[in-house]
Amino acid sequence: MTDGTGPLAGILVADFSRILAGPYATMLLADMGADVVKVEGPRGDDTRTWMPPVRDGVSTYYLGINRGKRSIALDLRAEADAKLARELARRADVVIENFKPGGLDKYGLDFDAVRADNPGVVYTSISGFGSGAGKDVPGYDLMVQAISGLMSLTGDPDGPPYRAGISVFDVMAGNHATIGILAALRHRDATGQGQHVEVNLLSSALTGLVNHSSAYVAGDTIPYRMGNAHPSVFPYEPLPTADNDLIVTAANDGQFRKLCEVLGIPEIADDPRFARNADRTERRDELRPILVGRLRERGALEWFDLLVDAGVPCGPINTIDGGFAMAERFDLDPVVEVGGIPTTRHPIRFSETPVSYRLPPPELDEHGAELRKWLEDEGD
């Protein structure tokens, strides 16, 4: 095993996942100290070919979600390689895979087979639609954005549905898998028992739709596209200034009062038409031109400084470079170099067990020789 630090030091993860949700989860685990062995087919993870953009000929998509891991290429159709994979699973604390449900059975790498040799294993499966009636349906983030209803909520009211700008449910499912793994490891520490942790994109999507899901299941209401507006809060959207739009999120009465004070219209906060959030939301068409009339007197960045100083949440609409620049401004140090490759910093900070960045994203089978030797050594 690699020498790691962090809260998961000493945990061995056998990573049979590909593309995004699983690799994102295992990168988070690696950052927290786990020894992650990335098992790839002979052609490698699909994201190695998802380009442009590239860095030194390597897909930046792949680089963004695979640091901290060792790579071994195994052809599971070859019995010798399948045997090595089973040995890795036998030694692992965590096995994670995102094959179609049942896809690993023929290699002796399904949960029941692995658990027979490794009763303490935390075996984690990520699928599109679960292991029941949806088990044979391939799962891709864009499909789930459509099926879950997210696309029906994204875009202009009179325009077509849109996908989110990222594979939001892959990332969400990766986070849910990480949470499930950590909870199962806690259970194993207490009882010695492993278990099967199952995550699927559609369930992650439905819980991730939060207030919209609740509107349907608790309020019998089907939400609809509102562009950048919020169905329950105003102002909570982009508003035009003298140059660019500014996101203004005065989400409670106190914040709205501060907004009005900075804009030089304190009387609006006492106007009975706008005194409560429900009033402002109902009368947004009356309130918006009043706010915009003042906001057009200055530029977005000038208003940002004034409003944030007053305690009003707001922000300019940046491109990605602006987002990283803002993180630098706030001392978040968003970029870490690992083996000369810039990557995005792990999102969690620990006061006692800090994360570590030990290995850059591996080349295909970069660690194959050492891992084969280790797995073939029956004394280990």
Please give the positions annotated as active site.
170
C-alpha 295/C-alpha 316 separation (Å) is 13
Both tokens of residue 199?
A: 């995550």
**Strands across the sheet with 35-40, in order?**
69-73, 35-40, 12-16, 94-97, 122-127, 195-200
Contact 169, 148 (CB under 8 A): yes
C-alpha 198/C-alpha 19 separation (Å) is 17
Site of tokens 């390689």: 81
Both tokens of residue 214?
A: 């609740």
What are the φ/ψ torsions at residue 342 (nearest 5 degrees)?
A: -70, 130
CA atoms within 13 A of residue 69's CA, in its CB half-sphere:
32
C-alpha 98/C-alpha 266 separation (Å) is 55
C-alpha 43/C-alpha 278 separation (Å) is 56
Cβ-count burial of 163 within 10 angstroms (0-12 exposed, 13-18 middle, 19+ buried)?
middle
For the chain, how long is the longest CA-to-CA vector?
79
